Each structure stands twice: as C-alpha cells, then as structure tokens.
Amino acid sequence: MKIEACEVSSLSVLDRRVVEAAFFRDSYRTPLTHPQASVVEIFFAVFAHLPLWMKSALLVRNCLASACGLEVPRSAEILSPEVKANYRVGDKIGPWPIFALSPSELVAGRNNKHLDFRLSVLKEAQGETINLVISTVCTTHNTLGKLYLLLIIPFHKWGVQRLMSSAARAGRL
C-alpha cells in the first residue's frame, strides 16, 4: 500500500481557518482494504501498534514535558491503550480526548500552554475507493511551541507514515 502526502481534506470537520493558519499541518492518504471498519477501529489499527522504541521515545518525551508543567498522558495510555466498546466526544481514545466523532471522522488532540493539536482520522470516498486520510494540525501559542514542533516535525512525519504503512502491510486497514 502506498502512503501519499496530501492536503487536509475539505471533508474534514477541522476548522479551515485553523488549518490554514496552523504553524504545522500534514496529511497522508492510503486506500482502505476494510472500508467497513469504523473510524475508531481504524484509529486503533494505526495507533495501538506502536513499536517498543516509539513507545519508549514517547514516554521520555512525556517525562520532559511534564517537568515543564505541560499536561501529558499517563504511561498506561501509551503502553497499552484501553479499547472501549463505545466512544463519544469528550472520552479519551488512547492518550487523547475526542473533539469530534462521526461515522466518517474521528478528531482527537490536546490543548496545552505551548500548542494545540488535532489529529483527524477520516474515511474519504474517492470514486470507488474509500481512503484513510490522517491529518495533524498544530497551532502554537508561544516560542516554546514553535521550538518543540521544529524538533518533532521530522520524527512526526516519518512516524505517521510508518505507522500507516505498518497497519496496511499487516492487513489492519
């Protein structure tokens, strides 16, 4: 399966003004071989299968961020995310609160002192094909947010593509 960079979909519920003004945004698309899967199932197909090295890096990042007074997820939310039977707006999915949830899109993220981010998991029809589009949008509030993103962006881009590719190769998408 090919993972291709794309624009944040116009079908997303993400506010277009926020998307356009964001300090950072990216989006990746791949065809779904299981188009009947819910957006929650797709979220877990991608983000519940982090390699150990990635989990370790996130735990170190969370320790550093917590020392700076930022809100971070609990270690258990990284190491073994809880999968519930049902989700609604306001619930946590993995380490993040859900901001929007519909049959075609799940938007989760976090608001913090240095930046706000949103992660969109979107099922998008393109002709006969149903695609998965994963988008990230980050709005910074201060210099710390900008510096943090400048350090993280290369790892983020590589990591999201790798997680999507791994999920596709494993037949989870």
Residue type, 80: S
Tokens representing 17?
A: 């003004």
Instruction: Round to whole Å and give the CA distance between 154 and 173.
Output: 24
Quick: pLDDT tens for 55-88.
Answer: 888 888 778 777 767 677 777 777 778 899 999 9
Give strand pairing partners of 138.
Answer: 24, 117
Mean pLDDT (the chain) is 92
Q: What is the pTM of this model?
A: 0.91
Quick: pLDDT tens for 116-146.
Answer: 999 999 999 989 999 999 999 999 999 989 9
Buried b (16+ CB within 10 A) or exposed e, 72-87: bbeeebbeebeeeeeb
Question: Where do the domains of the chain lie?
Answer: 4-169
Instruction: Round to whole Å and give the CA distance between 24 and 26.
Output: 7
Tokens representing 66?
A: 């917590």
Quick: pLDDT tens for 9-53.
Answer: 999 999 999 999 999 999 999 999 999 999 999 999 999 998 888
Q: Which of 119, 141, 144, 142 is nearest to 132 (CA)?
A: 119
Contact 101, 107 (CB under 8 A): yes
Question: Which CATH number is correct for 4-169, 2.30.30, 3.30.530, 2.30.110, 3.40.50?
Answer: 3.30.530
Q: Which of 58, 41, 162 is nearest to 106 (CA)?
A: 41
